[in-house]
Amino acid sequence: MSSIYKISFRTNLKNSRSFQRLHDCLKRLNVKHWAYDFQDLLLTLTSDLSDFTKIEAALSSAGCKCHFVKLENLNEGHSLSLT
């Protein structure tokens, strides 16, 4: 069984088209669970992809400027935080 990771990014979505591009990008990455907090501008993903740089690159290509905040292995309870 593969590990599941919770990955958080800070990003700013300008309009509904940006939100749709984000949605399409995450669908292509096969990310099944994600949420966006409009107040804190925080995107949180739950995925089996541990390489956040790959996800960040895909989000960037979709027009989202993302700053990596935190990676947490939900199977082990370990996390890595960057600000």
Domain map (residue ranges) of the chain: 5-81
Residue-wise pLDDT for 8-39, tens only, equals 888 888 777 888 888 898 888 888 788 888 88
Architecture of domain 5-81: 2-Layer Sandwich (3.30)
Whether this prediction's pTM lies above 0.85 is answered by: no
What DSSP assignment string belongs to the chain?
Answer: ----EEEEEEE---SHHHHHHHHHHHHHTT--EEEEETTTTEEEEEES---HHHHHHHHHHTT--EEEEEEEETTTTEEEE--
Mean pLDDT taken over the chain? 80
